[in-house]
Amino acid sequence: MNDFIAARSQMALSLGFHIIFSCIGMVMPFFMAVAHYYWLKTDQLVYKNVTKAWSKGVAIFFATGAVSGTVLSFELGLLWPEFMKHAGPIFGMPFSLEGTAFFIEAIALGFFLYGWDKFNKWFHWFTGVIVGVSGLASGILVVAANAWMNSPAGFDFINGQYLNIDPIQAMFNKAWFSQALHMTIAAFVSTGFAVAGVHAFMILKGQNVLFHTKSFTIAAIFGCVAAILQPLSGDISAKDVAIRQPAKLAAMEAHFKTEKSAGLILGGIPDEKSKRVDYAIKLPGFLSFLAHGDFESEVTGLDRIPEENHPPVGIVHYAFQIMVGAGMLMMAISLLYFLALWKKRSWLQSNWLLKMFAIATPLGFIAVEAGWTVTEVGRQPWIIYGIMRTADAVTPMPGIAYSFYLFTAVYVSLAFIVIFMLYRQIKMVGRLYDN
Amino acid sequence: MLYIVIAFLWASILFYLLLGGADYGAGIIELFTSRKNKEVTRKTLYTAIGPIWEANHMWLIIAIVILFVGFPVIYSTMSVYLHIPLTVMLLGIIARGTAFTFRHYDAVVDDMQHIYNTIFAISSFITPLFLGIIAGSAVSGHIDTAANTFLSAYIFSWLSWFSVAVGLFTVAICGFLASVYLIGETDNDGDRLRFAHKAQFFNIAAVLCGILVFAASFLEKIPLFEWVFGNWVGRIAIVSATLSLVWMWNLLYQGKLALLRPLAGFQVTMILLTTTYRHFPNIVILKGGGYLSLMEHSGQEKTIETLGMALLLGSVFILPALFYLIYSFQKNPIDYRQEAH
Ligand code: HDD
Ligand code: HEM
Ligand code: HEM
């Protein structure tokens, strides 16, 4: 494996690992706050148990999220020193604000996890909400930094120099809003479906049904609302990408030839050499509509973009299909669930609905990973879009492949331990909380 | 504004050394505790730092963010030439943070505990060792930006007697801070005596490692002696640290515990002050006499301006909340049995 590929793989691995924990860290506090609120209001013990059980899971996830995030803040320099040398001062604003958000999150978490029966109960509840709010804030900030890589702003690039830096303008670049919105909703979708799925599975197994039903309902409602909103926000993102990164949009859609009234390609196997997509379903005019809101408009294809600036079409196209496919499925499940809640209460007891959720457990996270693949691989070969190439940013140190193997081993083991501990938490629910 | 940013950087490093250091130290103590006493150590540790351990480690993130936003050349130079020790330190951070949490939140108590404990104790030693190595390497003058072999560029930049001695010194300081910290957390004389002995042990270790650091600096022609004793600030700091150490031991033998922590904190602050004061603002010294300076290698003015604003704004929120957190759990400690599992 060459060093450049190793560095990219290590970055992708670390980010792909971290994002799972950060989604959970951002969203679970809100689920807990709802359960906690019901406990304080209704005195039903089951809600206290749900809150406590979740908070233990969150502590595990939070610690893993925090260490993997710490690793990331060093990796940016370890792997991409040339990038950080120039980008640090420009896109640093969100990171410096994020430091505050993390700090507040860590402090509030200390109060929340260790503060049971120690403080005024509403103060204690409130610290839980603060954990969630500051988590969301840090997620939005770090995505703003990523958005800057997609849509550089806040400096003048003159003769290879980065002049007149304005960190505030850099933070509020053109991509930050659509990305932050889409990512925030994605965190709710993925965490909601994952949590609901696990509890649905436990209900199907007939264990601690009351406990798992309450948990399921909270997670499912959050997840489903978000899943219905997500395709709308995805549409905003797509229109945005069409304007600011036509190469990425073309790769997502495997759209090789610039044309008016372009067709939307579903599935298919793109071939970069012959510039064809085999075995695809084509919906005429729909790509123009998706990209620019007009069936007739022209959509830039890869033929307008110099060959050396093409992102890898295959990966981006497949990843995009996976994300959209997962998104559509989850939206359909969500619509069924709300139909059940409002009109067909009997469905709520039925096995097929629960089975559907149990099967959908990983869908949200699959979509998140796929979505980030679209964004990051679709930006290639640029690390700062149009300004700096990824290949020019990489560390001069040889032997990165070993570092990549090492981190892979560490993250794989960590993933196993976390899953193993979660399994044990769930298994112990009966012993700890059944009364 | 640049001075404010530098002050924040220095303060974050200091707080990380004091708070994160005590946190690492607690794990180091575990490594040096006989099997039968380990459980007590662990409980005292958990009651003492459970609620704040996450916050203690945020200081590192703050320092690193300040570095890459405000002083990108320094950040990227260190990232390149100290890649290997940084990576080891990161692995240590991963292992330690997760093991600490896992051992308290694993729903089932079985043999896994033993694994978590071992990982925790070992990584508590490795991480500050490499932090010290990194700090030592930064000023050792071994970083060679003109190097053209792998060994000279990426290995000898940090593998030197001096850097390793600084690493060991850091470990001893962490152990010392933690022992002193934990003395105040005990509820009976037996434990108190045990931690007092530990403090003594690490105090002696720190002095020995200190001597080692000076010896290595002579060997490698690093003018450490001049940095520390060649100016009034250094001399006053060292003398007052020594006096306060004598005072501290006196108080301890009299059983007066209230001032122990501030005094230990004071000593470590003085050590950091002497070692950074003289060659401020040059925080990285390169082979052949070049250096990277906080003044000359800072980002553009606008960047420093907004960074400073962000830090000031942040501290308005963070500091009161952090003090309230520490105060609350000092007044009202957590119950080990109830919270774990
Ligand atoms: C639960 C997760 C999830 C779901 C169901 C969807 N997405 Fe997504 N998508 C993400 C999770 C995600 C993400 C992981 O959060 C990304 C990566 C970067 C970002 O900002 O969001 C993303 C990126 C992303 C981008 C690239 C944005 C950019 O590069 O700036 C586009 C165009 C879309 N999405 C479009 C869609 C559409 C049309 C969907 C229709 C169903 C959709 N997404 C569902
Ligand atoms: C957490 C969500 C994210 C995921 C899953 C993700 C995923 C990826 C992937 C898959 C790559 C490799 C691209 C390739 O090899 O072609 C990559 C590269 C990279 N990403 Fe992201 N990314 C995320 C967010 C971010 C953010 C927020 C930043 C910075 C602020 C960032 C910075 C980078 C950098 C510096 C690279 C290396 C250069 C490159 O290969 O483009 N990423 N990321
Ligand atoms: C889109 C991508 C990302 C999102 C949404 C995100 C979000 C979060 C969240 C919510 C946390 C809190 C920890 C938790 O709850 O588990 C966290 C932790 C952290 N993240 Fe990320 N992050 C992303 C990418 C990154 C990147 C690229 C970096 C580094 C450059 C980074 C650095 C950190 C650090 C240092 C922490 C630890 C903070 C702590 O100790 O609480 N994150 N992240």
Tell me the pLDDT tens digit for each residue of B276-321: 777 777 777 777 777 777 767 777 777 777 888 888 888 888 888 8
Q: Whole-model pTM?
A: 0.89
Element (H, E) at A156: strand A156-158
Tell me the pLDDT tens digit for each residue of A270-328: 777 777 777 777 787 788 888 888 887 888 877 788 877 888 888 888 899 899 999 99
> CA B53: distance to chain centroid?
13
Give B335's pLDDT tier (boundaries 50, 70, 90). low
Structure-token pair, residue A193: 């479906």
Determine the residue among A17, A107, A117, A425 to mutate to test chain B binding: the one whose Cβ has the most chain B Cβ atoms within 10 Å.
Answer: A107
pLDDT of residue B341: 34
Percent residues over pLDDT 70 in chain B: 91
Is pLDDT of A18 > 90? yes
User: Is residue B68 assigned to a domain?
Assistant: yes
Which residue is listed with tokens 């969301």? A136
**Residue to mutate (ligand 2; options A148, A315, A376, A411; most atoms within 8 A of CB):** A376
The mean pLDDT of chain B is 80
Closest-CA residue to B209 (of B271, B143, B260): B271
Which residue is listed with tokens 């006989």? B34
> CA neighbours within 13 Å on the CB side: how many for A25?
29
Which residue is listed with tokens 């509840």? A125
Which of ligand 1's atoms lies nearest the C-alpha of A290?
A: 38
Which A positions 97-136 lie with beta carbon below 8 A of chain B?
A: 97-100, 102-104, 106-111, 113-115, 118-119
Contact B80 A81 (CB under 8 A): yes
Structure-token pair, residue A152: 């550089």
Q: Which range is least confidently modeled, A23-37, B121-135, B212-226?
A: B212-226
Query: Domain span at residue B49?
Result: 2-336
Contact A81 B54 (CB under 8 A): no
More confident residue, A342 or A368: A368
pLDDT of residue B159: 79
Query: Domain span at residue A93?
Result: 3-432
Is pLDDT of A137 > 70? yes
What CA–CA distances, in Å, run from A27 to A183, A226, B145, B151? 12, 12, 45, 46
User: Is residue B272 assigned to a domain?
Assistant: yes
pLDDT of residue B332: 65
Tell me the pLDDT tens digit for each residue of A177-208: 999 999 999 999 999 999 999 989 888 887 78
| Mean pLDDT computed over A120-127 | 85
Closest-CA residue to B1 (of B314, B309, B315): B309
Tell me the pLDDT tens digit for each residue of B209-267: 888 888 888 887 777 777 777 777 778 888 888 888 878 777 777 767 777 778 778 88
User: Is residue B85 assigned to a domain?
Assistant: yes
Contact B107 A106 (CB under 8 A): no
Question: Nearest 5 degrees, angle CA A432-CA A48-CA A31?
Answer: 110
Report the C-alpha gap between A304 and A257 in whole angstroms.
8
* Tally of domains within chain A: 1
> CA B54: distance to chain centroid?
15
Residue nearest to atom 33 of ligand 1 (CA): A234
Is pLDDT of B143 > 90? no
pLDDT of residue B50: 65
The mean pLDDT of chain A is 85
Give B340's pLDDT tier (boundaries 50, 70, 90). very low
Chain B residues inside the 8 Å CB shell of A49: none
Cross-strand partners of A259: A299
Percent residues over pLDDT 70 in chain A: 98
Contact B93 A71 (CB under 8 A): yes
pLDDT of residue B160: 83
| Mean pLDDT computed over B139-156 | 76
Give B333's pLDDT tier (boundaries 50, 70, 90). low
Residue A204 near residue A357, CB atoms below 8 Å: no
| Mean pLDDT computed over B88-108 | 84
Residue nearest to atom 25 of ligand 2 (CA): A146
More confident residue, B52 or A363: A363
User: Is residue B269 assigned to a domain?
Assistant: yes
User: Is residue B42 assigned to a domain?
Assistant: yes
Give B270's pLDDT tier (boundaries 50, 70, 90). confident
pLDDT of residue B197: 83
User: Is residue B341 assigned to a domain?
Assistant: no
Report the C-alpha gap between A27 and A129 in whole angstroms.
10
**Tell me, what DSSP letter sits at residue B333?**
P
Contact status of B156 with chain A (Cβ, < 8 Å) = no
pLDDT of residue B338: 46
User: Is residue B60 assigned to a domain?
Assistant: yes
pLDDT of residue B51: 66
Cross-strand partners of B292: B284
Element (H, E) at A269: strand A264-271
Contact status of B97 with chain A (Cβ, < 8 Å) = yes
Element (H, E) at A299: strand A298-299
